[in-house]
Structure 1
Amino acid sequence: MSLAEANRRFFDAVSGSYDNKPWFAEVNKQVTSELRDDLVWAGIPLTSTSTVTTTNAPPKEVRLLDYASGTGLMTRIFGPYVTSSRAIDISPNMVTSYNARARDAGLGETVVKGVVGDLFDKSHPSPAEFESAEWWGFDVAAVGFAFHHFADVAYAAGQLKARLRPGGVLVISDFLEGGDVLAGEDGKPVLGSEGNHAAHMHGHKHDDGSGHAHDHHHHHHHGEEGKIHDVGEATPEFKKKMNASIVVPHFTLEGVRQFFAEAGFVDVDVKTMKERSYMEFAGKKLWRTILFAKGRRPVEDGQEKSEL
């Protein structure tokens, strides 16, 4: 089974419970606050505040690509500052949830639209369904907590860079290597338990956090297709699906800088969130350190720059 298929199976299985837990709502709140409080760092064009209100001029068009969008966290974070959002996810169930939330919020397809797709299949690097102008020239590409599911992170970053207009930015969130702390039954951090406590991957070989992974072995477990799981459950079936979908469960700061640079980004910066976030996955309770990274597509001579 391919990594893409493993990702589809896992996220289809958890789409119903993926972010409806109280602790997940708190994580989303933390991430939203951290990114919105420092939009200058991200280089996001603030269309909602940059337009002079004393004129009748329409707001500048600013377009967001939310890749591996899930239910749309990054779209919700940056939505107030862009004029339109397009999302791609490999999981049909996640895309259904993404679009349902947008429609429930009164946002039509011209403003927010998600579709099923994969830009990282090296055998099909330019899918025909994403060749129209609608899927190119974005000001911002955002990926929330998904790079640890990608087989070749430098290639993935490069594919997203190609979708940006010159001067556009890629912003990601993920997890810091060595940044986990176990939580006790009371949910409080266990002193002295700092380290890596995310699910251990079987059948994956990876390096010291640069994000390049090799030798992925995925096994088909008959009878599990279509089964719905809760993200907190600790059943063997859930753990198998989760493990099969993850390549590297965390990154070093330097590793992220490395694959951004390898993909051709400039003005790269990586930082960690000020406070750890409490999470529960596969029966394990822990506090994790979230990292954020951003990089800009360079402007070549003669190219029109995205005014960020």
Structure 2
Amino acid sequence: MASSHHTSTANLAAPGTIASANEEFFSNSGESMLNQQWVKDVQVVMKKQLENNIDWLGIDTRDGPDGKKMLDYACGMGFLSKVFHPHFSKCIGIDIAPGMIKAYNSTAANLGLAPERMYGVHADLSNPNPTAQAGAGVSAVDLSSEEFSNFDFAGVALALHHIEHPQEAVSRIVERLRPGGVFLAIDRPAGESGGDEGHAHGHGHGHGHGHGHSHDNDEDQIDPSHPAAHTISHAHASFSREDVERMFKDAGLVDVELLYFDYRGEVAGLPKGAGRLFFARGRKLE
């Protein structure tokens, strides 16, 4: 998972510099940032929400994990893989930052999973001609091989706002899903609405936010001196419902739905701007 702060457009990454800024920052500082207590507490809340909505996500929990695989894109330390690995026989993480791949592989080891079950790859799928470097204990990687296609599930947790061309990234990920496979994005809603639709299910604190287009809501602002502010896209610091629906449909996804939730009352010590997320789900056309 990438950072979960909100920011204004001040000090955000300039076009053309985002990939290198993220690669450097998250390789050198990502693990320490993601180990902050408030981030861990947010992950506990997110994990509960994901588990409560696992049927909505289309993840089959009845037939066992055999033969099923998931892609954890912009994987960071492997938050999504930690949540969902019991339901898949293989979890593959991809991240632009080699330091995060090292951390992802450490997570796999801590879970007791051999590289055949969970491993990370250093790559950028938003690049038209992506290349990859495998992590320790993993053989040479060919992104055009069957190993990196026909995923049953793919997810991106709190990272699309760090990607200069999120549409390109989502489209490239969806290409690697099997027909009928599911894609999940977790990120930050633009603005707020007072509507009640789209609550996260199975929990007492899911509020419907993020229907508007405003990207400068005061609650979305943080100190521009935040150490990761320069890794966030000028154009895509947060996403409206319309942004997400268009991005998903242009990538070839159907049955697109969004859930919104607010965890500001559940986690102490949040930095300014943190506290609201959406889960967006779509299915690849069969």
TM norm structure 1 = 0.71
Is 1:65 matched up with 2:65?
Answer: no
Question: Counterpart in 2 of 1:145?
Answer: 158
Is 1:33 matched up with 2:48?
Answer: yes
Q: Which runs of 5+ in 2 are unaligned?
A: 1-15, 133-140, 194-216
Residues 154-173 of structure 1: matches in 2 within 5 Å? 154-173=167-186
Q: What is the rounded CA distance, in whole Å, between the counterparts of 1:291 and 1:297 in structure 2?
A: 20
Question: Counterpart in 1 of 2:191?
Answer: 178
Q: What is the rounded CA distance, in whole Å, between the counterparts of 1:270 and 1:22 in structure 2?
A: 27
Question: Counterpart in 2 of 1:292?
Answer: 279
1:3 Cα deviation (Å)? 2.2
Residues 31-180 of structure 1: matches in 2 within 5 Å? 31-46=46-61, 49-51=62-64, 60-122=66-128, 124=129, 129-179=142-192
Aligned amino acid, residue 264 of structure 1: G
1:28 Cα deviation (Å)? 0.3
Aligned amino acid, residue 40 of structure 2: A
- CA change 1:126–1:166 in 2 (3 A) is farther
1:165 Cα deviation (Å)? 0.5
Q: Contact 1:179 / 1:196 at 8 angstroms: preserved in 2? A: no
- CA change 1:153–1:132 in 2 (3 A) is same
Is 1:197 matched up with 2:184?
Answer: no
Q: Which runs of 5+ in 1 are unaligned?
A: 52-58, 181-193, 202-233, 300-308
Q: Contact 1:164 / 1:297 at 8 angstroms: preserved in 2? A: yes
Q: Contact 2:222 / 2:273 at 8 angstroms: preserved in 1? A: no
Larger gyration radius, structure 1 or structure 2:
1
1:255 Cα deviation (Å)? 1.4
Aligned amino acid, residue 49 of structure 2: E
Q: Contact 1:166 / 1:298 at 8 angstroms: preserved in 2? A: yes
Q: What is the rounded CA distance, in whole Å, between the counterparts of 2:131 and 2:105 in structure 1?
A: 24
Residues 247-258 of structure 1: matches in 2 within 5 Å? 247=234, 248-258=236-246
Q: What is the rounded CA distance, in whole Å, between the counterparts of 1:120 and 1:5 in structure 2?
A: 13
Aligned amino acid, residue 297 of structure 1: K
3-state secondary structure, aligned to 1:75: helix
1:188-247 CA distance string (max 9 Å, x none):
xxxxxx64433588xxxxxxxxxxxxxxxxxxxxxxxxxxxxxxxx57xx3xx5324434
- CA change 1:171–1:98 in 2 (3 A) is same
Alignment length, in residue pairs? Answer: 239
- CA change 1:195–1:179 in 2 (3 A) is farther
1:168 Cα deviation (Å)? 0.3
TM norm structure 2 = 0.76
Q: What is the rounded CA distance, in whole Å, between the counterparts of 2:268 and 2:162 in structure 1?
A: 18
Q: What is the rounded CA distance, in whole Å, between the counterparts of 2:41 and 2:231 in structure 1?
A: 27
- CA change 1:161–1:295 in 2 (3 A) is same
Question: Counterpart in 1 of 2:8?
Answer: none
1:292 Cα deviation (Å)? 0.4
Q: Which moved more, 1:127-136 or 1:96-105?
A: 127-136
Q: What is the rounded CA distance, in whole Å, between the counterparts of 1:157 and 1:113 in structure 2?
A: 21
Aligned amino acid, residue 148 of structure 2: W
Question: Counterpart in 2 of 1:4?
Answer: 19
Q: What is the rounded CA distance, in whole Å, between the counterparts of 2:72 and 2:157 in structure 1?
A: 8
Q: What is the rounded CA distance, in whole Å, between the counterparts of 2:77 and 2:116 in structure 1?
A: 18
- CA change 1:198–1:37 in 2 (3 A) is same
3-state secondary structure, aligned to 2:183: strand
Is 1:275 matched up with 2:263?
Answer: yes
Q: Which moved more, 1:270-279 or 1:4-13?
A: 270-279
